Structures are given as C-alpha cells and as structure tokens.
Structure 1
Amino acid sequence: MTGTSFFSLEKIAEGRSGGTTQAESRIYNERLIVSLIRRHGQLAKTDLTRLTGLAAQTITTIVNRAADNKLLLRLEPLRGRLGQPSVPYALNPKAAYAFGLKVDHRSADVALVNFVGDVMACERTLFDYPTPVEVMKFAKGAIARMCRKHRSIEQDRIAGLGIASPFHQWNLSEEGAVPASRLDAWREIDIRAELDRAFDWPVFLYNDATVSAAAELMFGAGGSRADFLYAYVGHFIGGGLVLDHHLFPGRNKLAGALGDMPVPAPGRKGDRMTPLLRVASLHSLAGKLNDQDNGDEGAGRIWSSPDDWGDLGEPLTAWIDEVSDGLAYAARSAVALLDIDNVVIDGAIPNGVRKEIAKAMRRKLARILVDRPEPFSVIEGTFGHLGPVIGGASIPLLVKYSNDKELLFKE
C-alpha cells in the first residue's frame, strides 16, 4: 500500500480549535524528546526532565522505549561529576532514512539522507527545461540505484520521499522562467501522485525554498536558533520562516515567499520599487553576464557549476551589491514585523559568493539594527545548492519524528 500524505497545513475553520487526545500527547512527548536531542546533540535524562517539565519516570519510559526502537543511542557515561555518572543519549543516524527530490528550472537532484542529515548518496542531472516525464524517469532510476547500493537499509526505516519544487504554484510563466508548453505539462500532471504510486512509502510535495529552511532547521546552522528568516538565492529567490524552533509555512503555505517582496530598484533615484526576485536571483545575474562580451559562457557556468563560477568579473561584484541591498531591505522589514533575530543566506551559489553577500548584509544592517535587545545575526547557510534536495528529504522525517503539533495532528 502506498502512502498518500501531502505535506500541507489545511486552513482551520474560523472559530474551531483542535483538541489533543491522550495518545496524541504521548506521541507528542516522544517526538519532543527526539527533537530536543536533535537540537542539542546529546542530552541525559536529567537534562530532558529539566527541559520538558515531565516527570523523571515519564522521561525514563520514553527514552528507554526510543533506545529499544533504535531511535536513540546510549553514549558513554560522563564521569567526574558529583553523584551518579550521567548517561547522555544521541540520535541514531541509522534510525531512519529519507529520499529527497529537487526540481528547478535547469536541473534535478536526488539524495538519500539519514536521520542526522548525512547525505548517503546523491545524483544530479541537467535540463534545458525539465518536464515531469523526464524528472520522474530520473527520480525512479536514481532511487533504484541508491537502494541497490544501500541494501543494508531496512525498508521500514525509510520515512518517505520529499519533493522540493517551485512548480507547485504554477506562477512562473510571467517571468519567462519556463516556456509555456513546458509549464503546461507541470499543470497537467500531479508528480506527487505519480511517484506515490511507484513507491511503498509516503511521498510529499512542497515549495523548494520552504523545505530548504526545514533542512537548515533540522540539520544545519539554524538548529540552535529559535527563529530565522531563510533566503535561498536560486534561479529566482525564495524563502522560508522558522518561529520558536518550528517551520512556519503559513495558512496558505506562502510564509517567507521573499520573491514578491518590493525592494528599492537598483540604480533608481526616488521611491521606485521592484520585486526582490528581479534583483536577487541567478536570473538577474545571467542578464548582467549576457550584456557583456562572451557573457554566454559565464551565464552557462552559473547554471552548470553551482560550486565554482570562476572569475565573472565586474558583473558579479555589482550583482552581489544589489543582492545584499535587496536582502538587507527585506531583513529590516521582517525584523520590524516578526521581531526575529536571525537571517540565514544560502543558495545555488559558491561558498565565496555566499560569504560576500553575508558580509555586505552585515555591514549594511549594522547601524540600523544596533539597538535591538538581542544582537541580530546574518548567518551563512550550510548546504548550498543541496539545500532543496536535503530539505525535501527532511520533510518525511519532520512529519514522522517532529514534535510540530501542526504536522503531527494532521497526520
């Protein structure tokens, strides 16, 4: 029997709230403990008792059951303290696995990720413009090859497949991102349902930038941050939002959609505004490169070599300045509205370029946000162009093992 889950938060009818059964509370407490250990790396039962407020006996029962189910590993006791040695527990990397599939305007990736976010296998393919049929053929083949290579993984340890794609909202044609005929194919085929029929585990579909934020929350630099705005610079720019250690997609699954946020237009005097996606995107960088001699070669490199663009010269320098301007403006707006203390910058860009964008943002925000009660941080992301595919894999793990009540009680 195949899974039928769609990673989606339904709107709750006005005036209605959700209650919690005793069984749901038990599951929630189990997942809370797993989530706390994920966030802190390792914790002893005494730490979990202090952090959760649950009774010591309850913590012991839950931790022992999780260890018996191979979710947790019992580490060596910590000696040298007063009283009995403290025994910390950590997540078992082999407790669960998930596949991620990323689809964007020029490429597709498939990755196999373990319970702590290690990439066990990854394959990538390039397209002029992807079609659903091409993507599904690639995904099925890559997953079959990975399963053969990792035969030791038990099938019931695979939590599912998460698809990360910008095509789930069908609003890209007006920017010329995809030819109309190719975009029509994405409107006509439900790729989640098609792949769901092919596998014996649940298949989920979500926005690529939002799940990239989920990867940062579960496995990356955002895990220790209570809240952050996440920005992913790809073909266009997208984002995600984390509040109180939980991914917050929003009622319409659009929270953190930075691309449509108006920012000052580069090089324009006065109050003229433009959507951020026209400034902070690889699409805009490709336009700058195409305006110079031999620009086609440089534009080709930004699509095919996300880890190394070589020397792109003055167009890249100007682009970094415009991207940091736009993102700094967006960050100021997010801080004013949401009272957050962090923004995470990542994308399908080389590490050196990401570092320069982050440095420029820190410089531009230093005086503006200096009076905040807590220091504001601009953090470099962890995964680069692999963010969406690792994020796709994180969704089945979030749904099955997270203490997020919105996800848990919708399942």
Structure 2
Amino acid sequence: MTGTSFFSLEKIAEGRSGGTTQAESRVYNERLIVSLIRRHGQLAKTDLTRLTGLAAQTITTIVNRAADNKLLLRLEPLRGRLGQPSVPYALNPKAAYAFGLKVDHRSADVALVNFVGDVMAFERTLFDYPTPVEVMKFAKGAIARMCRKHKSIEKDRIAGLGIASPFHQWNLSEEGAVPAGRLDAWKEIDIRAELDRAFDWPVFLYNDATVSAAAELMFGAGGSRADFLYAYVGHFIGGGLVLDHHLFPGRNKLAGALGDMPVPAPGRKGDRMTPLLRLASLHSLAGKLNDQDNGEKDAGRIWSSPDDWGDLGEPVTAWIDEVSDGLAYAARSAVALLDIDNVVIDGAIPNGVRKEIAKAMRRKLARILVDRPEPFSVIEGTFGHLGPVIGGASIPLLVKYSNDKELLFKE
C-alpha cells in the first residue's frame, strides 16, 4: 500500500546477527540470549549454558555485559534448592522502546511500546478513507506528543518506528471496499521513506498481519509455541507464519497471507471455492449488517468500537459460522503443508466474538486432526485490534535485539 521500500540500511546499526567474525559472533550470541530470556520469561546463567551450548564463562561475560547495559535485570536468587542459589535474569522493560504506526482502510493508530510489549502511550484517529498526507500528519503529531509526555526516555533507547500496513491496498478497490480514486495517492507516495526523513531513528514497513504475528511471537501467547499460523480478522483477513520460534515473512514478505486462499463457498457442498477474504473479514460482516434494518448504524459500530459491538444479532452468528468454516479449512491446509501444531486467531473484534470463532474452529477440527502425534491447538490471540500497532513497534525491537534480523532482511 505504501510504496516499495521496507527499510533504510543507513539507519540500521552495524552488527549482523549471523556471521563468522568475533564481533558478529558476539552480537549473535547476545541476541540469542535476549531471545531465549524473552521466550522463557526469566533464566539463570546455568539455564542459558544448557540451552545455548556455549561455555559457562562465555555466558557469564555476555550476561554481565547485557546487565551492565541495562538490557537485563538481575532478579532475587532462587533459594531452597540443592547447591548454590540460582540467580535468574529477566528483560528490563526500560531497556528499549519503539513506536508503531498502523494504517488501515478506516483508521490509523500510533503506540509507544517498551522492551516487553507494554503500551506506554496510544492514539487513534478515524478516517472515511485515509490519505498519505493525513496519516503522516497524524503520525508526526502523535509521536511528538508522546515524546514530550515521556521525556525520561533517552533518545538512544528508541529503536525506531515500524509501520504496519496492508500491502498493495489499491488492488482492494476491486472488492468494493475503497473507492479507486482515494487510492491513487498511495501509489505515488512512499510513506516509509517520507517518515524516515522526519526522524533520526530507522523506519520500517511491513505487512500488518505479518507484524501482528510478530507481536504474538514476541509479547503474546505465541512466545511459548515453536510454530503457529496466525490469522488476523480485520477489514480483510491477513495472516503470518512462525516456524521454529522464528517469524517467517517469506521471500516477498507475504508468507501466511490467507486472504487469497480458496475455501469452500458457504451453502455449497464443496463444488465452488471462494477467496477466504470474502468470508472472514469485517467487510463481509458489514455487508450482512447492511442488508438488515438499521444496518448502516450497526455496520458503523464494527469500525468504531472494535472492543464492544453490542448485540448485533443473527448476522454476527451467521458470520462467525462462515469465518470458522473458512479458517478451519485454511488450518487443515496449513497442517498438511507445514506440519504445524497451532493456529492463533485474533483481529479487530471483541473478545467474545474471538472466543466463539476459536470455539467453533476447535469443534470443526477435532475429528479431522485427532490422529496427529501432537495435539493441535486453536489459540486466542492476545492483543485484538492493537495487534498491528504493537506488531509495528515490535519490528525495530526485533531488528535490533533479536536473532531474527537476517530473516527479515534476506533478499
């Protein structure tokens, strides 16, 4: 949607996350330790030695340096066990911060997030249909206000700004969701490059559903799962993919893009297929609501109140059934192709609706996947409508402090 550039190499700190020089190995090992502590919550040096295979002296050197640099916090010793008390380390929430900017078809969000995913500040604005100029003005103003409010944050602790945006939004006018004329400006302006010129820190752009999966991996329910398919039900449906504890964006940064996946059309016996985005999206729900009395007002609630739609009646019940059908079919396909054990369901939807979708999926998949060696799990996501903006903020943190950096920047 927002141009062709994803990041600017000039502002990314030196130190690749993989390589053979001593300096590169040191950076990689520190990021590995930070990633392991993020995944487990807290770990002692003995745990890190066991998990990494590195020498105890190497672990001690890296952990002590990370603690001195305020990346890690030394917690109280764990007593009552055999031998010397074990001293666990945890991530320091104040070690780093990042801004996230989410842009979709009706709104824009900006959030300031700390090293462990806590939202320190948040602003939202609504549009009929956003233009690049409106979004950039809002983003610059919101970030300036947040910086003034949080003056205690040192400038070098800000890792950057991550933009979460639908890719190639101008194609969506074919679905009737956005007037074609409103999309022309997005073809001409690279919002990432424009915002990169406005700030000293690096600015990144990734698909909104991909970064939502990153948020779930780094800060949410996905952190303890080795792999999962992530589905985000928003204006349209998107997805992301995590394999072996690592975000897997794919060659074109679109791995897990579920919207175009063909699934059986409702009311048919499998003899006609339709793209999943035509079933599992707020756009499709709005179409159902608009067919009812008071429909325009009810449809407006799903855009303006993602946490609470109130009682929208039978159209939502029918929509949940269609969404769970489509997602269950997509999950079966992902299991067959990737041998994954989990799917995470989230979106700009109320908690109760998300719960009903997950419950229906579990019921529909129970018999089909019963013979798998490992139980298959349908997990409710953590962040709801905040997933993309928190995910946007997760990207600068992932780039600077995770051993996933090479994966994101692979050409």
Tell me the TM-score normalised to structure 2 length.
0.95
1:190 aligns with 2:180: no
CA contact (8 A) 2:325 2:361 kept: yes
User: Offset at 1:403?
Assistant: 1.0
| Residue in 2 that maps onto 1:385 | 385
Please identify, of 396-405 and 128-137, the stretch whose mean Cα deviation from structure 2 is larger: 396-405
> Over residues 76-125 of structure 1, what are the superposed CA-to-partner deviations in whole Å (9 max), with x where a residue is unaligned?
01111111111000000000000000000000000000000000000001
User: Offset at 1:171?
Assistant: 2.5
Unaligned stretches of 5+ residues in structure 1: none
CA contact (8 A) 2:3 2:190 kept: no
User: Offset at 1:168?
Assistant: 4.8
User: Offset at 1:177?
Assistant: 2.2
> Over residues 366-389 of structure 1, what are the superposed CA-to-partner deviations in whole Å (9 max), with x where a residue is unaligned?
000000000000000000000000
Cα distance, 1:75–1:19 mapped onto 2, change above 3 Å: closer
User: Offset at 1:270?
Assistant: 4.3
Please identify, of 79-88 and 173-182, the stretch whose mean Cα deviation from structure 2 is larger: 173-182
Cα distance, 1:8–1:154 mapped onto 2, change above 3 Å: closer
> Over residues 179-237 of structure 1, what are the superposed CA-to-partner deviations in whole Å (9 max), with x where a residue is unaligned?
11221101100000110011110000010000000000000000000000000000000
Q: Secondary structure at the match of 1:116?
A: coil
Please identify, of 337-346 and 18-27, the stretch whose mean Cα deviation from structure 2 is larger: 18-27
CA contact (8 A) 1:361 1:378 kept: yes
User: Offset at 1:406?
Assistant: 1.9
CA contact (8 A) 2:227 2:243 kept: yes
Alpha-carbon distance in structure 1 between the residues aligned to 2:234 and 2:5: 27
Cα distance, 1:4–1:354 mapped onto 2, change above 3 Å: closer
CA contact (8 A) 1:96 1:157 kept: yes
Please identify, of 150-159 and 175-184, the stretch whose mean Cα deviation from structure 2 is larger: 175-184
User: Offset at 1:9?
Assistant: 12
User: Offset at 1:26?
Assistant: 1.5
Alpha-carbon distance in structure 2 between the residues aligned to 1:249 and 1:169: 18
Cα distance, 1:4–1:237 mapped onto 2, change above 3 Å: closer
CA contact (8 A) 1:93 1:115 kept: yes
User: Offset at 1:23?
Assistant: 2.1
Alpha-carbon distance in structure 2 between the residues aligned to 1:74 and 1:13: 26
CA contact (8 A) 2:17 2:24 kept: no
User: Offset at 1:258?
Assistant: 0.1
User: Offset at 1:21?
Assistant: 3.1
CA-based RMSD of the aligned residues comes to: 3.8
User: Offset at 1:19?
Assistant: 5.5
CA contact (8 A) 1:5 1:202 kept: no
Q: Secondary structure at the match of 1:258?
A: coil
Alpha-carbon distance in structure 2 between the residues aligned to 1:17 and 1:208: 24
Alpha-carbon distance in structure 2 between the residues aligned to 1:17 and 1:381: 29
CA contact (8 A) 2:237 2:277 kept: yes
> Over residues 296-329 of structure 1, what are the superposed CA-to-partner deviations in whole Å (9 max), with x where a residue is unaligned?
1110000000000001000000000000000000
Cα distance, 1:236–1:16 mapped onto 2, change above 3 Å: same
> Over residues 14-39 of structure 1, what are the superposed CA-to-partner deviations in whole Å (9 max), with x where a residue is unaligned?
99999643322211110000000000
Please identify, of 186-195 and 17-26, the stretch whose mean Cα deviation from structure 2 is larger: 17-26
| Residue in 1 that maps onto 2:77 | 77
CA contact (8 A) 2:343 2:378 kept: yes
CA contact (8 A) 2:113 2:393 kept: yes
Equivalent runs, 1:294-373 vs 2, <5 Å: 294-373=294-373
User: Offset at 1:405?
Assistant: 5.2
Alpha-carbon distance in structure 1 between the residues aligned to 2:91 and 2:5: 25
Alpha-carbon distance in structure 1 between the residues aligned to 2:185 and 2:340: 39
User: Offset at 1:7?
Assistant: 4.7
Cα distance, 1:341–1:405 mapped onto 2, change above 3 Å: same
Equivalent runs, 1:215-364 vs 2, <5 Å: 215-364=215-364
Alpha-carbon distance in structure 1 between the residues aligned to 2:19 and 2:67: 29
User: Offset at 1:269?
Assistant: 3.4
| Residue in 2 that maps onto 1:36 | 36
Alpha-carbon distance in structure 2 between the residues aligned to 1:39 and 1:15: 22
Alpha-carbon distance in structure 1 between the residues aligned to 2:377 and 2:346: 14
Alpha-carbon distance in structure 2 between the residues aligned to 1:367 and 1:406: 39
Same amino acid, percent of matched pairs: 97
Q: Secondary structure at the match of 2:38?
A: helix
Q: Secondary structure at the match of 2:2?
A: coil
Cα distance, 1:68–1:185 mapped onto 2, change above 3 Å: same
Alpha-carbon distance in structure 1 between the residues aligned to 2:171 and 2:292: 30
CA contact (8 A) 2:2 2:191 kept: no
Cα distance, 1:381–1:77 mapped onto 2, change above 3 Å: same
Unaligned stretches of 5+ residues in structure 2: none
Alpha-carbon distance in structure 1 between the residues aligned to 2:42 and 2:2: 34
Cα distance, 1:334–1:221 mapped onto 2, change above 3 Å: same
Q: Secondary structure at the match of 1:170?
A: helix
> Over residues 228-272 of structure 1, what are the superposed CA-to-partner deviations in whole Å (9 max), with x where a residue is unaligned?
000000000000000000000011111000000000001123410
CA contact (8 A) 1:9 1:251 kept: no
Cα distance, 1:389–1:21 mapped onto 2, change above 3 Å: same
CA contact (8 A) 1:2 1:200 kept: no
| Residue in 2 that maps onto 1:178 | 178
Alpha-carbon distance in structure 1 between the residues aligned to 2:150 and 2:359: 41
Alpha-carbon distance in structure 2 between the residues aligned to 1:186 and 1:4: 11
CA contact (8 A) 1:3 1:201 kept: no
Cα distance, 1:144–1:106 mapped onto 2, change above 3 Å: same
Alpha-carbon distance in structure 2 between the residues aligned to 1:14 and 1:69: 17
User: Offset at 1:409?
Assistant: 7.4
Alpha-carbon distance in structure 1 between the residues aligned to 2:85 and 2:16: 48
Q: Secondary structure at the match of 2:322?
A: helix
Alpha-carbon distance in structure 2 between the residues aligned to 1:198 and 1:206: 19
Q: How many residues align?
A: 411
CA contact (8 A) 1:346 1:380 kept: yes
Alpha-carbon distance in structure 2 between the residues aligned to 1:385 and 1:144: 23
Please identify, of 21-30 and 137-146, the stretch whose mean Cα deviation from structure 2 is larger: 21-30
